[in-house]
Amino acid sequence: MSEVARRSPAVESSHVVEIVDLSVSFSTDAGAVRAVDGVSLTVGRGEVLAIVGESGSGKTVTAKTILGLLPDTATASGAVVLSSKDGLRNANIVSLSKKQLREVRGTDVAMVFQEPSTALNPVYPVGWQIAEGLRAHGKYSRAEARAKAIEILDRVGIPEPEKRVNYYPHQFSGGQKQRVVIAMALVLDPGLIVADEPTTALDVTVQAEILDLLRRCRDEFGTAIVLITHNMGVVADLADRVAVMYEGKVVEQADVYTLFSSPQHEYTQRLLAAVPYIGQGTLKTRERASARTADWEEQKPVVEATELRIQYPGRLGRPGFVAVDGVSLQIRPREVLGLVGESGSGKTTIGRAIGGLTRVTGGSLKVFDLEMNGISERRFRKVRSEIGFVFQDPASSFNPLLTIAECVAEPLVVHGRASSPASARGRVNELLEAVQLPKAYGDRFPHELSGGQRQRASLARALALEPTLLIADEPTSALDVSVQARVLELFAELQREFGFASLFISHDLAVVDLLADRIAVLHRGKLVEEGTGEQVLGAPQDAYTQRLLASLPVPDPVAQAERREQLRALRTATP
């Protein structure tokens, strides 16, 4: 055990941060908006406190107050008392000047942001960025700072740290970038790390590795962690205590075992009930199968891939990259095929190829009986209106200068079904009502809607042309668990009503199990397993599928501890 992990009983019993009656308001044109209302929390040394709740509940504002990262429009009252790691000094963050805040950031408290790509500067090597914190807080020579950066990269599991210390952020994978961000937070050995949705954008296998790393931060570095997340499986895996926030207030606090076994507050109960879990979709899949006609299996597939191969061309003399290698699959009318796998497995590439956005380089891919290998845009254009898209991030897929009604009407105008957005407004209103949005929302701009409302509008746009095939690429990964549950129910309802076939791409196995009739598992461009959810997730045959399942955290701390051991055994057994 490291020196920092050996703490005296006196220090052990104290708090690294104590929040007392914290309230935060933001000034707006319409008046003050209270985001946090009378929150009181404590975090013990070496403890992991998870703060959970929907978007807008105040959890991120509370966490950012600990670092003094609130904007100038914010007004905070109450106290946020932060202690140093050795317990010899403390300070009320709310009353500190900007100069004093700079002194405690990094040394006493550090932050791990949600999106490492935006937290890292793309024009500097990661070693320079880690050393920047050292130079700002201490007298380190260039050689000493570099040696410290290499040491911390090694401790967070970056391979070949002596070489990779000179790499730029784009030369790392998503999981490795998150490790670099954690290294930046740990380099000055703070007593507290605030981790804001640190695993949201990661695959389940990479997420499991980052959770292991955060657990090591607690055990080896003696660092306390405030974890902000909407993933209840992550909470069950990592947290010691949980605070549930709703409308700016803490409505429930308990240790992780008590909260999951007997939640007291109605909101906590609703939050846990909204979490999808493996096996939940079996009954629904059987119901959909029993409702099909007898000749369903004889119907011509909407999509049929045979030994599909997609290779991206190499550049500067480098060989090409094979993204999809010999994949064969079918999607029949009114069927939902779930496509799962890690980043880089080829899921999105297949979806783009079906939509005519990526060129097929080998094998066969038939969409509506049109061969996509070598097809011209002119030939494909006649079926393009039969395909709808739901993108992962509706905020970036909508034009921010257009109203929601204009965005939803866009496919109708482009394909000549309406002369202008105004003439399509009747149809747009019908679509908004179909996705359970008031038609008055059509006059709002995308930034005026919540994440779940934007995703509903994205569904409305995808259905505008009444497509035969809908391609949904990670449509719920960025949503809160309760919002995700409502969007998934809506998707299933619309699929029954409109009768479209769908390719549903996701890395969340529980979500796919809930919606898909069949599941296809991709690994490094190859199809390794295919079948119903009962077959693939209930009794996986391939070692990769087994690893994928074991990596998925479940919202039960007792079961999750067992799964963690199972995953360790699978990793040890894998050559």
DSSP letter at 20 equals: E
Residue 305 within any structural domain of the chain: yes
Report d(CA 545, CA 553) in Å as an integer: 15
Share of the chain above pLDDT 70, in %: 97
Q: Indicate whether 320 belongs to any domain.
A: yes
Q: Between these two residues, 341 and 251, which has the higher pLDDT value?
A: 251
What does the pLDDT average to over 421-448? 91
Residue 293 within any structural domain of the chain: yes
Q: Is the pLDDT of residue 217 over 80?
A: yes
267 found inside a domain: no
Average pLDDT, the chain: 88
Give the CATH number, domain containing residue 303.
3.40.50.300
The rounded distance, in Å, linking the Cα atoms of 153 and 164 is 9
| pLDDT band for position 574 (cuts 50, 70, 90) | low
- And the tokens for 157? 């599991």
Examine residue 262 and state whether it is found in any structural domain, yes or no.
no
Retrieve residue 181's tokens.
């961000």
**13-37 confidence digits (pLDDT tens):** 378 999 999 999 998 777 888 999 9
The answer to the question of residue 146 being in a domain is: no
Q: Give Cα 462 distance to the centre of its chain.
A: 22
Q: Does the structure show a pLDDT above 90 at 66?
A: yes
pLDDT at 7 over 70: no
The yes-or-no verdict on residue 139 having pLDDT over 80 is no
Distance, in Å, from the CA atom of 472 to the CA atom of 461, rounded to the nearest integer, reads: 12
The pLDDT, as a whole number, for residue 522 is 93
Are residues 398 and 444 in contact, defined by beta-carbon separation less than 8 angstroms? no
Between 481 and 410, the higher pLDDT residue: 410
pLDDT for the residue 142: 87
pLDDT for res 403: 94
Helix orientation angle between 543-551 and 557-573, rounded to the nearest 10 degrees: 150
Name the band, by pLDDT with cuts 50, 70 and 90, for residue 1.
very low
Q: Could you tell me the two tokens for 521?
A: 């598992």
CA dist., res. 337 & res. 521, Å (int): 11
- pTM for the model stands at 0.81
Q: Which domain, by its residues, includes 512?
A: 276-386+500-539
Residue 12 in this model has a pLDDT that exceeds 70: no
Q: Which helix (H) or strand (E) holds 174?
A: helix 174-186
Q: Is residue 429 part of a domain?
A: no
Sign of the Cα pseudo-torsion (458, 463, 464, 469, in order): positive
pLDDT at residue 51 in the model: 95
Query: d(Cα 90, Cα 316) in Å, to the nearest integer?
Result: 56
Query: What does the pLDDT read at residue 8?
Result: 34
Report the pLDDT value the prediction gives residue 141, as an integer from 0 to 100: 86
> How far apart are alpha carbons 214 and 202 in whole angstroms?
15
Rounding to the nearest 10 degrees, give the CA dihedral for residues 472, 205, 118, 195: 120
Query: Residue 31 CA to chain centroid, in angstroms?
Result: 33
Counting the structural domains of the chain, the total is 1
Average pLDDT score over residue span 242-268: 95
How far is the CA of 527 from the CAs of 29, 324, 397, 544, in angstroms?
54, 9, 29, 11
Distances (CA, A) of 515 to 59, 236, 282: 30, 24, 10
Top-ranked range on mean pLDDT: pick from 136-140, 357-361, 570-574: 357-361
* Main-chain dihedrals φ then ψ at residue 25, nearest 5 degrees: -120, 150
Q: Residue 14 burial (CB < 10 Å; 0-12/13-18/19+)?
A: middle
Residue 438 domain-assigned?
A: no
Question: To which H or E segment does residue 407 belong?
Answer: helix 404-414
Region for 474 from its dihedrals, namely left if φ exceeds 0, alpha if ψ lies in -120 to 50, beta otherwise: left
Q: Which two tokens stand for residue 73?
A: 């429009």
For the chain, what is the total number of helices (H) and then of strands (E)? Answer: 24, 20
Residue among 299, 305, 300, 298 nearest 366 (CA): 305
CA 309 to CA 28: how far, in whole Å? 53
**Among 376, 436, 432, 370, residue whose Cα is nearest residue 407:** 432
Task: Indicate if the alpha-carbon torsion angle 271, 276, 279, 280 is positive or negative.
Answer: positive
pLDDT at position 482 is 80
Confidence of residue 201 (pLDDT cuts 50, 70, 90): low
3-class DSSP state of 175: helix
Q: What is the DSSP string of 468-510?
A: SEEEEESTTTTS-HHHHHHHHHHHHHHHHHH--EEEEE-S-HH
Check pLDDT > 90 for residue 281: no
pLDDT at 441 over 60: yes
Please indicate whether residue 481 or residue 265 has the higher confidence score (pLDDT). Answer: 265
The DSSP 8-state label assigned to residue 397 in this structure reads H
- When pLDDT is cut at 50, 70 and 90, the band that residue 575 belongs to is low
pLDDT tens sequence across 219-235: 988 899 999 988 898 99
